[in-house]
């Protein structure tokens, strides 16, 4: 593991990404849905939105399984485990009834957030791009074929920091379901494929901080199954240089 981490730190991120899933290498954008689990919205003191709410993350924030998460100087970084929907073909103004035909498959992701930056800019009415967009802030699994998940609204998501279970939820608790999310986002901006854009569908409650030296593990499983379809294992390190909050 140590040699792998050293290798990932030494290589430019675009080179690291060449060994990752096609959608990671070719995707144009990450569309992340916010406040889509009521209990998560509540734990951060937010109200549930009256329509889907989203923000964008750069594809340069992807980091591979068994890779690293960098903690920028002065940042309190939180984990948010999520089901990702991989868009399989381009489209705009997609109806809910057609939405599934635009899905190529799925992935497990963690939306890392510099929470203290986010809270600071929220108070000022400013965008969240810095809080969400740092390099390594979207750990991502391998591609999950669409056929492997018959019902994306009934899969279990969990995340541990070291041996502490932090998040343990199910996508059945989404406020807005995937067809509605695809309909809403595509009414504003075009989805791009094939195996291109990634739609992050929101996180269950239990988000919290990670610290340098922590081991972060996460998984996605079908209900009543003891086996994960995919899992993630990351290690947190201090970022050398760069931004300071």
52-92 residue pLDDT tens: 999 999 999 999 999 999 999 999 999 999 999 999 999 99
Q: Is 16 a residue whose pLDDT tops 60?
A: no
Average pLDDT along the chain:
90
Supply the DSSP symbol for 244: B
How far lies 118's CA from each of 48, 76, 144, 202, in Å?
A: 18, 10, 31, 16
CB 220 within 8 A of CB 229: yes
CB 237 within 8 A of CB 70: yes
> What CATH architecture applies to the domain 2-238?
Alpha-Beta Complex (3.90)
In three-state secondary structure terms, 191 is strand
Q: Residue 193's pLDDT is what?
A: 84
In three-state secondary structure terms, 70 is strand
CB 25 within 8 A of CB 17: yes
Token duo for residue 143: 């591609």
Q: Is 134 a residue whose pLDDT tops 70?
A: yes
Q: Residue 7's pLDDT is what?
A: 42
Q: Which residues of 167-185 are buried (b: 16+ CB within 10 A; e: fewer)?
A: bebbbebbbbbbbebbbbb
Closest Cα to residue 54, out of 108, 127, 103, 106?
Answer: 127
Which of 11-25, 177-191, 230-244 shows the lowest mean pLDDT across its residues?
A: 11-25
What predicted TM-score, i.e. pTM, was given to this entire model?
0.90
Supply the DSSP symbol for 154: S
What length is written for the chain?
A: 245
């Amino acid at each position: 593991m140590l040699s792998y981490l050293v290798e990932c730190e030494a290589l430019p991120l675009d080179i690291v990404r060449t060994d990752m899933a096609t959608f990671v290498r070719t995707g144009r954008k990450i569309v992340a849905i916010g406040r889509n689990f009521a209990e998560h919205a509540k734990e951060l003191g937010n109200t549930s939105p009256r329509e889907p709410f989203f923000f964008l993350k750069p594809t340069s924030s992807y980091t591979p399984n068994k890779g690293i998460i960098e903690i920028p100087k002065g940042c309190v970084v939180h984990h948010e485990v999520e089901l990702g929907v991989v868009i399989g073909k381009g489209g705009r103004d997609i109806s809910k009834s057609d939405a599934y035909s635009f899905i190529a498959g799925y992935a497990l992701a963690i939306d890392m957030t510099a929470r203290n930056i986010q809270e600071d800019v929220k108070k000022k009415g400013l965008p969240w791009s810095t809080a969400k967009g740092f390099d390594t802030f979207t750990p991502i699994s391998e591609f999950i074929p669409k056929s492997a998940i018959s019902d994306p609204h009934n899969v279990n998501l969990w995340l541990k920091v070291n041996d502490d279970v932090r998040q343990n939820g199910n996508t059945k608790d989404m406020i807005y379901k995937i067809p509605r999310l695809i309909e809403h986002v595509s009414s504003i901006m075009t989805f791009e494929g094939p195996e291109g854009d990634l739609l992050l569908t929101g996180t269950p409650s239990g988000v919290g901080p990670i610290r340098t030296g922590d081991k972060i593990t996460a998984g996605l499983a079908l209900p009543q199954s003891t086996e994960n379809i995919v899992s993630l294992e990351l290690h947190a390190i201090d970022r050398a240089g760069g931004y300071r909050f």
